[in-house]
Amino acid sequence: MYAYIKGKITHKEATHIVVETGGVGYYIKISLHTYGLLQAVGEEALVHTYLQIQENAHNLFGFAEIAEKKLFLELISISGIGPNTALVMLSSASPTEIEQAIVSEDVKTLQAMKGIGAKTAQRVILELKDKIKRDTLITQQKAVPHYRSVREEAITALMVLGLAKNVAEKNVDAVLKLKGGQTPLEEVIKYALKM
């Protein structure tokens, strides 16, 4: 129902925050990981949320990062893990550490978290290992083409502007090494022309 809430943090504790937006204060349960990433009281924040609707309560869970929310949703999809247990897990270790434990089939690390027994830890690994590996692979594949496409487009543009291919490649590689792979295409071309 709520994808995120953006507003001013009016109260902040290790287990929850209150975010005011539009004159309404939202009580949002958080992990220690999110607590460490969120701004101070009085500052604006964007909190990714999950709404749990129960017969006797509506609970909002909040996350500073979309990756943490995604892992939270994957964890609660497993039989035996509810939102509160998933939040305890995310307070015990960072999302990256939990994902590494799942991928490496580290039952002991997962079992050390409050509320997670041996069978639940094994179920988490069984149900999420392949999914996390696949998501990680997709993320890595998306990162590589951006660098390559900027490089290739910059080289092509420089050749159209009259530079020899070997000179264009050398200049673009130098710019990307100096500025980083996330440099916008326009900047790469501009700096490459000055070399």
Which residue ranges does the chain devote to CATH 1.10.8? 142-194
Tell me which of 177 and 86 has the higher pLDDT. Answer: 86
Contact of 48 with 62, CB cutoff 8 Å = yes
Supply the pTM of this predicted model.
Answer: 0.68
Give the CA radius of gyration of the chain.
23
More confident residue, 43 or 152: 43
Confidence of residue 152 (pLDDT cuts 50, 70, 90): confident
pLDDT digits (tens, 9 = 90+) for 9-27: 999 998 999 999 999 999 9
Q: How many CB atoms lie within 10 A of CB 88?
A: 17
pLDDT digits (tens, 9 = 90+) for 50-62: 999 989 999 999 9
- Give the model's pLDDT for residue 140: 52
Asked if residues 128 and 120 have their Cβ atoms less than 8 Å apart, the reply is no
pLDDT digits (tens, 9 = 90+) for 182-192: 778 878 888 88
Predicted local confidence at residue 146, as pLDDT: 46
- The string of pLDDT tens digits covering residues 154-179 is 888 788 777 888 998 899 888 888 88
pLDDT at 189: 84
Longest CA–CA separation in the chain, Å = 71
What integer pLDDT is reported at residue 137 of this predicted model?
60
* Beta strand spans in 22-176 (E): 24-30, 44-53, 58-63
- At the top level of CATH, the class of 142-194 is mainly alpha
Q: How far is it, in rounded angstroms, from Cα 156 to Cα 34?
A: 44
Phi, psi of 171 (to 5 degrees): -65, -45
* CATH, range 1-64: 2.40.50.140
Under DSSP, the state recorded for 133 is: H
Residues of the chain with CATH 2.40.50.140: 1-64
Cα dist. 92→46, 97, 146, 160 in Å? Answer: 23, 10, 34, 55
Label residue 74 by pLDDT band (50, 70, 90): very high
- Render pLDDT for 106-151 as a digit per residue (tens, 0 to 9): 899 898 888 888 899 999 999 998 888 777 665 555 544 444 467 8
